[in-house]
Structure 1
Amino acid sequence: MTKRDFLLALNDALGSMTGDERSAAIKYYSDYIDDAGPENLENVLQELGSPEQVAASILADADAAQQAVNGAAAAEASRTMPPPAPRAPGGMPVWAWILLICLLFPVWLPILATLGGLLVGAIGIGIGFFATTFALLICGVVLVCVGIVTAFSAPPLGLLVMGVGCIGLSIGALFCMGCVFLCRTVIPATARFVGRICSRIFRRRQPKTAQG
């Protein structure tokens, strides 16, 4: 293969490149072959390989260089772009939520105070219920014990005291069943309800993907 045949075949294989790029590549290999001298033409062409192999190497290098340029341009654009404004759950900016909370202050503050009062009152009632149950059981046991001791000296009085103590124990047992019901049903249900409300308030919505 002559130098001319090699360069013509290389030019055809580089058909996907622009005219200037193809001309630069042809000139580079033409000078490279000329620098080797006519006596080394066969060795140089054998070293370079077929025109198709040389063209594939040139096109691969051009693609890699273009990708590097595109990556650098994208990185530069991402550095110069301003960061997105922070958004709160629901897609609204944080400043909009703050403004909305300030404007609705006369509305949500009394509601929040009422809910807080109801919660404190419910806790107080629960504590009082447990304390009453404990007091009834203790008083019932004490009265029964006192009635037993009193029955040895004054049987009618002792029986009366024992009867009052048994009544206290019965009421305390009923209250104890109520405490068990509160611990097993009411308190867990209330905790789950409050947890669901809090999760709905503070949960962030997942971004919607574009429909293809």
Structure 2
Amino acid sequence: MDKENYLTELEEYLDALTADEKADVIEFYNEYIDDAGLETTDEIEKRLGTPRQLSRKVLADYSIKVTDIESHRSKKSKASVRSNGKMIWMILLALLASPAAIVLGIVLFAILACVVAVFGACMVAALAVLCTFFILMIASLYVGIVMLFSSFTTGLFYLGCGLMGLGAVLIGFPLLYWIFRAIIQGIANFAKFLYKKIYKNRRQGGNEK
């Protein structure tokens, strides 16, 4: 009865998964508990953690799996920003849910907060510069068109400057997005490495016992 209650509660925390994925998880841990000979709730939680803790680990594992699949399908070997962001969040929750890894979870959260704060400030500043530059280039185009009727060469100069500036702005916006995506990918890779390292060590420690 304890096993059924544990698995029922675990399933309730897995709403982010599809019905088939939840069924696979429940079936796996049902067999795991039977094979390990775990009978009471205390024995199960000592080995697997509480249903909430285990669910966060499961969701983190599935998030990593999704990003890995996207990376293999993508020619650039990078998952989407959305998938990476979700994976980072799931890993963070999994680390914070584990007493043994809570310190690392806090460290990861602190790193993430610092990166977001610094990069956010840089992004705002860069966007402000690009927007200002864009307005100036539009003004340069306007002046160039007006000047064509009074001084053709001067008008061409302003038009050329305006077009070159607009080209630079059009390059700048995708560049900012690329930098943002690269930073998120770097954080995701670090979080994935940290998560796998921690749970690999925990599994090895459990096997030694």
Q: TM-score, normalised by structure 1?
A: 0.36
Higher relative contact order (CA 8 A, sep 6+): 2
Structure index of larger Rg: 1
